[in-house]
Structure 1
Amino acid sequence: MTGRQGPALSRRTLIGAGLGAAGTAAVGSGQAWAAGPTASRPRSAPARGRAFLAAAMDAYPGQDGLRLTQSYTDQAGLFSTAFTYDNALAILAHLAARTADGLKRAKTLGDALLYAQSHDPAYDDGRLRQAYNVGPYTFYDGSPQPDGFVRPDGTVNVGTQFGFTGTAVGDMAWAGIALSALARRTGARRYLSGAVRIGEWIERTGRTDEPLGGYKFGVDGADRKLPFTSTEHNTDLICLFGRLARLTGDRVWRERRERAEAFVRSMWEPSGGFFYTGTNDGVTVNRSPIPEDTQTWTYLAFGDRTRGCARALDWAAAELAVQDHSGRPNSTVPAGQSYEGVTFSSASLLANEDAPIASGQPRPDRNAVWFEGTAHLALALRARGARGDEAHALRLLASTEQAQDLLGGGQTVGGTALPERSGVVSASSPLDTGFGFGYYPYRHTGATAWYLMAAARYNPLKA
């Protein structure tokens, strides 16, 4: 995921890191579900996931229909922050539902991203910021802060109190993937135009002629280019540029796709059967830690046509497998419950369980399940379809559905109670990623969206 080599720009870096009292009080919110709203419960687990996405999108209705989806429940301490990546995933999950309401919501979110793209207070070059503020929120003392997604002067609020104002190539790529999916579904030219603007910004800003090639990380909030090159980002670009080549008919996108693909291939480690995370200087490959998503996303983007990708799935399934339960040190899983899945990276398995993940935060559980990554793996296994893959994927989905039922109870979005048993938490217990930030048991738009796509067999990275 975005932010691996550049924690200052990560949409994850500040999740639970240095958030003060509001961020720490609820970190043990993996308790069993407390009494929720009296409305009738949706019947299926995917329906409950979709109900969460709808609630997170509708929490701040006073935007004349133009709104984004809050990324995490209020208990994470990020208030109404809407990460661009999470909103791109929400669009794709709504499209995966193949319902009239899903299409309507996907179009609303897509139009909000287009509005942000064309009404930035500082730039008009096709970029999207890392995050936006979706609506009114409150500080720790309860005082209202009414500056929402759209200001009275028509510009968008890009300055949340956490400073997520830079632009990462991976976040941009996912927004472009979501807009291109809308273009294919609706035929509306505006979505393709927005995706093309994103692709052109990436080409101008990210392209590098360093020995390892590929596309660089992005820019920070001061518009300074960051030196890192990420395997995950370039995997995203394989999909985005491939789609733009097909939708526009312009062969230049094919060349750009091949450039991103060559970088990803250069990160392959044949002796171990996995992909490395990237490079900090364009010359030397970063050999540790090894993350989950560079294994699963490469398969989703490449499929069986690229030697090695199938082995990378096996590496992730075996080497990053975890099982979390209440008997584990630092686990917040309630007694009698157990969850299986994968963790974030090889470093997560070696986390120091005697030290906090970050200042003011809890100590990590080495066996905490990362549910977003668990959904990545489930979807990739279903796409591969080798012997035993479907059974394995169904176990992972069942674990994720149990988490939706039993973890993160009593959490809210915009101060409003969520539909009962809706939304998947980021992690079963506090999780140290090994990249300078952590995940916690807060219900999350991104994790829920990936679960919904895995349940629907919807591959968002298929060009």
Structure 2
Amino acid sequence: MSGSPRRYAPWAIVTVLVAATVFAGAVPAVSAGVTSADEPTPTVNALDPEQSVALAYEFLDARVDEFCDGAGHCLPRSYQGGFFTTPSWDFTPSFVYDDALVVIAYTSRGLPADLRHAQAIGDTLLFVQAEDPIGDGRVRTSYEPHGIRQGRVEITGPGTFTGNQAWVGMALARLFHATGETKYLDGALRIAEWIQTNTADMIRAPYGYTGGQVDDGTSLTWKSTEHNSDISGFFTQLAQLTGDAVWADRAAVAAGFVAAMQSADGHVDTGTGLDGSTINTRPVPLDAQTWSYLGTGDPRYGAALDWTLANLIANDGPYTGPSISDTDVSKVWFEGAGNLALGLRLRDGQGDADRAETLLDSIRLVQRDAANGDGKGIVATSTDGLDSGFGDLYYASLHTGATAWYLLAEAGDNPFRLPVD
């Protein structure tokens, strides 16, 4: 399991009482809908885009409002329905990666009610940061919203993974950019210093940032392409917000690691093994392809998007889109469909707009028709049991993270970059 996790799959938390996921897998496959074909096959009868976006925000509103305390702290549960909601069991933890995406999606639309919801989550992230038992600026993988509603911090995923830290940092940076409230920038800088102090590796080439720490404080020695893409984006934002060039220099280190992971055929490998140097070549995850492009802004990773279109596209019933990796391409991973669509829209090469629209149409269709859906939110996968290739499975349950990625893709808003004023 070296070289990539951002959080373990939710089912794994239930099994081992730890929350921290990994990347997924998918066997190479090609879809005529979103490959280099000149005429992608459109999904029919999907929701109208404007209506779809409004309904997706309604879904997020309901999730945020469900678990709040008297001080205005709120955390939305990440998953609901299907596998995660049964007559005898209801899985409610809130993953900070998902929370960060929800914050950024709210700031993207930016209505007054959106900013209130974004700040409710952002203030809660500052609360759990301040109340952490170690108290060194870190946040953990996931928390129990029932605890937040009772005014206390209940950690369900005690690991401190570097990518999660960077995502929370980007959410706080967005809130500072949107509101001007310095508490959000202060929180982001505390997280950034934690990353720098605890994960920077300038000894073992390729230089970059390691995976963070597990729940007992043991440091992870591998390096992840995904995490370093996250850091490149986060530290670039801090350089812009603070005017301190040291953050740009550190962002360049992370981007240099990502560049070292790109293969001759354009795809980007997952990261390194435990020695921090040997490249881990299997499985090949989607996020390493899309986030290298979005996180660094380097056009060289357009080749990784093309590799994704040729190797990771799944067709599952009426749904078309990427899987999580090259281990299992039998099902669509809608979180990945959102960030792939965003990457294609931002690249805007020949045929990219049509390919992105095909992906978005498929998301709108599953929004409307998913068996475990509510007509508003987006489910994580097209059907249950998508094998990530890293030892976990994903399920067709409503997911705040997948919903937020869809909204960002619709808006053409790159979460790794601050909006242009």
Relative to the length of structure 1, the TM-score reads 0.78
User: Which residue, 315, 318, 322 being the options, matches 2:314?
Assistant: 322
- Which is worse superposed, 51-60 or 231-240? 51-60
Deviation at 1:279, TM superposition (A): 0.5
Contact 1:321/1:343, CA 8 A, preserved across alignment: yes
Contact 2:208/2:228, CA 8 A, preserved across alignment: yes
1:446 maps to what in 2?
401
2:369 maps to what in 1?
406
Percent same amino acid at aligned positions?
A: 39
1:456 and 2:411 matched: yes
1:378 and 2:333 matched: no
Contact 2:68/2:75, CA 8 A, preserved across alignment: no
Letter in 2 for 1:426: A
Deviations 1:229-256 (A, max 9, x none): 1000000001111111111111211221
Contact 1:66/1:112, CA 8 A, preserved across alignment: yes
Q: Distance in 2 between matches of 1:172 and 1:231?
A: 15
Letter in 2 for 1:173: A
Q: Distance in 1 between matches of 2:13 and 2:236?
A: 36
1:111 and 2:123 matched: yes
Contact 1:376/1:450, CA 8 A, preserved across alignment: yes
Q: Distance in 2 between matches of 1:265 and 1:207?
A: 17
Question: Unaligned 5+ residue runs, structure 1?
Answer: 20-40, 136-147, 326-337, 350-366, 412-419
Q: 1:373 to 1:179 in 2, by over 3 A?
A: same
Q: Distance in 2 between matches of 1:388 and 1:308?
A: 18
2:37 maps to what in 1?
none
User: Which residue, 47, 50, 65 being the options, matches 1:58?
Assistant: 65
- Secondary structure of the 2:321 match is strand
Contact 1:215/1:260, CA 8 A, preserved across alignment: yes
1:389 maps to what in 2?
352
Q: Distance in 2 between matches of 1:54 and 1:13?
A: 22
Letter in 2 for 1:70: R
Letter in 2 for 1:118: A
Contact 1:301/1:461, CA 8 A, preserved across alignment: yes
Letter in 1 for 2:221: P
Query: Any runs of at least 4 consecutive aligned residues in structure 1 with deviations exceeding 4 A, and if so which?
Result: 15-19
Map 1:27-426 → 2, pairs under 5 A: 44-75=51-82, 76=84, 79-120=91-132, 122-135=133-146, 148-149=147-148, 155-158=152-155, 160=156, 164-208=157-201, 209-270=203-264, 272-280=265-273, 281-303=275-297, 306-325=298-317, 338-349=318-329, 367-409=330-372, 420-426=374-380
Letter in 1 for 2:142: A
Deviation at 1:80, TM superposition (A): 2.0
Aligned-residue RMSD, C-alpha? 2.1
Q: How many residues align?
A: 379
Deviation at 1:59, TM superposition (A): 1.6
Question: Unaligned 5+ residue runs, structure 2?
Answer: 17-47
Q: Distance in 2 between matches of 1:267 and 1:4?
A: 14
- Secondary structure of the 1:129 match is coil
Contact 2:207/2:257, CA 8 A, preserved across alignment: yes
Deviation at 1:11, TM superposition (A): 3.5
Contact 1:183/1:192, CA 8 A, preserved across alignment: yes
Q: Distance in 2 between matches of 1:187 and 1:48?
A: 29
User: Which protein is richer in helix relative to its size?
Assistant: 2
Q: Distance in 1 between matches of 2:98 and 2:2?
A: 16
1:432 maps to what in 2?
387
Q: 1:177 to 1:43 in 2, by over 3 A?
A: closer
Deviation at 1:65, TM superposition (A): 1.6
Q: Distance in 2 between matches of 1:225 and 1:10?
A: 15
Deviation at 1:64, TM superposition (A): 3.3
Deviation at 1:297, TM superposition (A): 1.1
Contact 1:72/1:443, CA 8 A, preserved across alignment: yes
- Secondary structure of the 1:274 match is coil
Contact 1:150/1:157, CA 8 A, preserved across alignment: no
Deviation at 1:302, TM superposition (A): 2.9
Q: 1:279 to 1:43 in 2, by over 3 A?
A: closer
Deviation at 1:408, TM superposition (A): 3.8
Letter in 2 for 1:405: R
Letter in 2 for 1:312: A
Larger Cα-atom Rg: 1
